[in-house]
């Protein structure tokens, strides 16, 4: 049974002396109890409080022995909560009545006058079984929510470029800890992938990682989705909702676009972090939670703190470690490996052969500035996989915006090609054909200069 609180039993009988005798017996055994004297009172009590078990009589109208009232009540209780253990009892017990009660959902049957030892033993056993059943259903709810918000893919971090080495180092050093991490970077830089990698490296890896887009829902709806709610908390709340935070209990909560959190929700979430508990909407009882928080944003939270639009105390709670992701344009060595990864993903999705990338298409991919970062590259390779007729992605299979030079004009415009060739040739001559020096003069890196030399057919001596 739960160690957090004594088990609470609802006692239901129309005779006050029976209720009092049961209350004294259970109090001495470490149980708490409430009482109801009618079927309506039982239903009202169940609606207002969580119970570990119900111990109920089958007859409530004087001089009745059929058990019909109790059978009807039993059916209503199981319809409200099928996991709530119900033990029925009556002075007019019979085998047939016991079988019927069990068929309608009772967990056990006790005849009056009861034996104290057996009654307590039955209660303890059924409460333990009920708690195990509820735990199983909670885990299934977590898994359903996890499938909805996080998908079921593995974690793939492709990071061969020097710009990503600090990121890999932080994942390796910080991942196994419980430290909260704030992941920053432009839209589409892969913050969600890095969050998944941090979770996979942690001691919580076997538990859920629940991803929440904080800007994806209106505030009123988002509050109940984040904190959960109880049945009847608002119109349409027909059943209890676990909420994202409790779904992540024992695991990791990843709050994407944390900068979109409203001031009211910032205050409530700060309380969750400080007190390690959450209060569902419409409830007053704090529910303990154990979560690691990873958050991400492309907004300058430090500036928002100075402006007063983001709480400083919450900011300090979230950024125990700050992990800045570089944009894809600074990860030149990752562009082709990422592109090949996305092509393989598409091939696996459609059960097709993996397409390769032609050298010319590869040069265009590396020359492009990728304003949409890794997310844009993923979309481009999905486009290329669908468009490419053969086993290789060519220049013609890439979107039109990529089929341009760095200056943004059509690459088949010979006058512009000649201008680019002339500019590069002059820079090489001025640098005495030292490519590193020429790249600095042109304001590009040496790898990009090498690709343009090859594409434009520039000779290193006598290029003009």
**Whole-angstrom Cα distance, residue 293 to residue 313?**
15
Is residue 407 included in any domain, yes or no?
Answer: no
Question: In this structure, are 18 and 112 located in the same domain?
Answer: yes
pLDDT in tens, 50-105: 899 999 988 887 656 677 888 888 888 887 777 889 998 877 656 677 777 887 88
User: Looking at residues 316-344, what average pLDDT do you find?
Assistant: 93
336, 373 contact by CB (below 8 A): no
Using 50, 70 and 90 to split pLDDT, how confident is the model at 4? low
Question: In this structure, are 58 and 77 located in the same domain?
Answer: yes
Question: In this structure, are 166 and 271 located in the same domain?
Answer: yes
Is residue 199 included in any domain, yes or no?
Answer: yes
89 strand-pairing partners: 57, 110
Is residue 14 included in any domain, yes or no?
Answer: yes
The larger pLDDT score, comparing residue 1 to residue 421, is at 421
**Whole-angstrom Cα distance, residue 101 to residue 251?**
40
Question: In this structure, are 91 and 230 located in the same domain?
Answer: no
Question: In this structure, are 307 and 209 located in the same domain?
Answer: yes
Question: In this structure, are 448 and 342 located in the same domain?
Answer: no
Domain boundary among 326, 354, 371: 326
The larger pLDDT score, comparing residue 66 to residue 106, is at 106
Which of 35-49, 83-97, 107-121, 132-146 bottoms out in mean pLDDT, i.e. has the lowest?
Answer: 132-146
Is residue 114 included in any domain, yes or no?
Answer: yes
Please give, one letter per residue, the 3-state secondary structure of the chain: CCCCCCCEEEEECCCHHHHHHHHHHHHHCCCEEEEECCHHHHHHHHHHCCCCEEEEECCCCCCCCCCHHHHHHHHHHHHHCCCCCEEEEECCCCHHHHHHHHHCCCCEEEECCCCHHHHHHHHHHHHHHHHHHHHHHHHHHHHHHHHHHHCCCCCCCCCCCHHHHHHHHHHHHHCCCCCCEEEECCCCCCHHHHHHHHHHCCCCCCCCEEEEECCCCCHHHHHHHHHCECCCCCCCCCCCECCHHHHCCCCEEEEECHHHCCHHHHHHHHHHHHHCEECCECCCCCEECCCEEEEEECCCHHHHHHHCCCCHHHHHHHCCEEEECCCHHHCHHHHHHHHHHHHHHHHHHHCCCCCEECHHHHHHHHHCCCCCHHHHHHHHHHHHHHHCCCCEECHHHCCHHHCECCCCCECCCHHHHHHHHHHHHHHHHHCCCCHHHHHHHHCCCHHHHHHHHHHHCCCCCCCC
Is residue 430 included in any domain, yes or no?
Answer: yes
Is residue 241 included in any domain, yes or no?
Answer: yes
Burial label for 369, CB within 10 Å (0-12, 13-18, 19+), is exposed
Is residue 117 included in any domain, yes or no?
Answer: yes
User: What integer pLDDT is reported at residue 95 of this predicted model?
Assistant: 64
296 strand-pairing partners: 183
Domain boundary among 281, 296, 326: 326
How many residues are present in the chain? 464
**Whole-angstrom Cα distance, residue 284 to residue 10?**
20
**Whole-angstrom Cα distance, residue 294 to residue 183?**
7
pLDDT of residue 410 exceeding 60: no
Question: In this structure, are 229 and 96 located in the same domain?
Answer: no
User: What integer pLDDT is reported at residue 151 of this predicted model?
Assistant: 37
Vertex 207: Cα angle to 206 and 209 (nearest 5): 115
**Whole-angstrom Cα distance, residue 158 to residue 26?**
61
Q: Which domain holds residue 124?
A: 8-133
pLDDT in tens, 422-440: 778 888 888 888 888 888 7
Using 50, 70 and 90 to split pLDDT, how confident is the model at 25? very high
Domain boundary among 133, 163, 193: 133
CATH number at residue 71: 3.40.50.2300
User: What integer pLDDT is reported at residue 378 of this predicted model?
Assistant: 92
User: What integer pLDDT is reported at residue 422 of this predicted model?
Assistant: 76
Question: In this structure, are 126 and 17 located in the same domain?
Answer: yes
User: Looking at residues 283-295, what average pLDDT do you find?
Assistant: 91
Question: In this structure, are 178 and 303 located in the same domain?
Answer: yes
User: Looking at residues 397-424, what average pLDDT do you find?
Assistant: 63
Question: In this structure, are 244 and 260 located in the same domain?
Answer: yes
CB neighbourhood size of 92 (10 A) = 13
Question: In this structure, are 82 and 38 located in the same domain?
Answer: yes
CATH number at residue 425: 1.10.10
CATH number at residue 199: 3.40.50.300
Is residue 139 included in any domain, yes or no?
Answer: no
User: What integer pLDDT is reported at residue 138 of this predicted model?
Assistant: 57
392 strand-pairing partners: 356
261, 214 contact by CB (below 8 A): yes
Q: With a threshold of 0.75, does the pTM exceed it?
A: no
Question: In this structure, are 180 and 290 located in the same domain?
Answer: yes
Vertex 432: Cα angle to 431 and 437 (nearest 5): 30
**Whole-angstrom Cα distance, residue 254 to residue 248?**
9
User: What integer pLDDT is reported at residue 442 of this predicted model?
Assistant: 74
Structurally, how many domains does the chain consist of?
Answer: 4
pLDDT of residue 143 exceeding 50: no
User: Looking at residues 240-252, what average pLDDT do you find?
Assistant: 89
């Amino acid at each position: 049974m739960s160690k957090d609180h004594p088990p609470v039993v609802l006692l239901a009988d129309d005779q006050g002396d029976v209720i009092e005798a049961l209350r004294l017996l259970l109090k001495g055994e470490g149980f708490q109890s409430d009482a109801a004297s009618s079927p309506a009172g039982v239903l009202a009590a169940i609606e207002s409080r969580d119970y570990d078990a119900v111990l109920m009589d089958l007859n409530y109208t004087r001089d009745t022995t059929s058990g019909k009232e109790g059978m009807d009540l039993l059916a209503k209780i199981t319809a409200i909560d099928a996991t709530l253990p119900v033990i029925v009892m009556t002075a007019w017990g019979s085998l047939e009545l016991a079988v019927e009660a069990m068929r309608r959902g009772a967990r056990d049957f006790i005849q009056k006058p009861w034996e104290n030892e057996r009654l307590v033993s039955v209660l303890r056993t059924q409460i333990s079984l009920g708690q195990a059943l509820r735990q199983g259903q909670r885990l299934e709810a977590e898994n359903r929510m996890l499938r909805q918000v996080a998908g079921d893919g593995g974690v793939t971090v492709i990071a061969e470029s020097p710009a990503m080495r600090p990121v890999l180092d932080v994942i390796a050093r910080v991942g196994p800890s419980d430290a909260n991490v704030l992941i920053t970077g432009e839209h589409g830089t892969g913050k969600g992938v890095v969050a998944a990698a941090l979770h996979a490296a942690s001691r919580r890896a076997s538990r859920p990682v629940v991803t929440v887009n904080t800007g994806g829902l209106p505030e009123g709806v988002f509050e109940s989705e984040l904190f959960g709610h109880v049945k009847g908390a608002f119109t349409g709340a027909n059943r209890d909702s676990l909420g994202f935070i409790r779904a992540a209990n024992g695991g990791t909560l990843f709050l994407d676009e944390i900068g979109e959190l409203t001031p009211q929700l910032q205050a409530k979430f700060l309380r969750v972090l400080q007190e390690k508990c959450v209060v569902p909407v419409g409830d007053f009882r704090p529910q303990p939670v154990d979560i690691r928080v990873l958050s991400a944003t492309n907004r300058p939270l430090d500036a928002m703190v100075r402006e007063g639009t983001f709480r400083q105390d919450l900011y300090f709670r979230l950024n125990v470690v700050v992990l800045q992701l570089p944009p894809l344009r600074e990860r030149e060595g990752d562009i082709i490996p990422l592109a090949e990864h996305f092509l393989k993903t598409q091939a696996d999705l459609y059960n097709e052969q993996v397409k390769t990338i032609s050298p010319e298409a590869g040069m265009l991919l590396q020359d492009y500035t990728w304003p949409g970062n890794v997310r844009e590259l993923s979309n481009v390779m999905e486009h290329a996989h669908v468009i490419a007729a053969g086993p290789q992605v060519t220049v013609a299979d890439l979107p039109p915006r990529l089929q341009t030079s760095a200056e943004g004009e059509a690459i088949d415009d010979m006058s512009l090609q000649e201008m680019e060739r002339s500019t590069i040739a002059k820079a090489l001559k001025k640098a005495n054909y030292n490519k590193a020096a020429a790249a600095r003069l042109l304001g590009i890196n040496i790898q990009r200069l090498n690709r343009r030399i090859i594409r434009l057919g520039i000779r290193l001596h006598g290029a003009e």
